[in-house]
Amino acid sequence: MHYDARMRTTLTLEDDIADSLKERARLLDMPFKQVVNDVLRRGMSPGVREAPGPGYRVTPNHSGLAPGVDPLKLNQLSDHLEAEDFAGPNAG
């Protein structure tokens, strides 16, 4: 009796898992079944790690308040604007 190395089976996935795998397949431009096999293989072999993606660098940006803006009064300004909005355009 001859057995093929590949086995076809039906697998019922929960919606969130299926969506994640489909998204991963789309992003990696890989067939769905290859993504499923790769994810299962990594999960069953804790020593196998995914190849690192391209590195990225975060460039900090100074985003202080404009001169003359008191950060302790921002809530007061928000309350004032909200009250104006609630009163409507014809009030005041």
**Domain spans, the chain:** 15-44
Judged on CB neighbours under 10 Å (0-12, 13-18, 19+), 21 is: middle
Q: Which of 59, 33, 38 is nearest to 48 (CA)?
A: 38
Question: What whole-number distance in Å separates Cα of residue 8 and Cα of residue 10?
Answer: 7
Angle made by CA atoms 82, 68, 71, in degrees to the nearest 5: 55
Return the percentage of the chain with pLDDT > 90, whole number: 32
1 has a pLDDT exceeding 60: no
- pLDDT the model gives residue 48: 63
Residue 72 binned pLDDT confidence (cut-offs 50, 70, 90): confident
Confidence of residue 88 (pLDDT cuts 50, 70, 90): confident
The yes-or-no verdict on residue 22 having pLDDT over 90 is yes
pLDDT for residue 33 is more than 90: yes
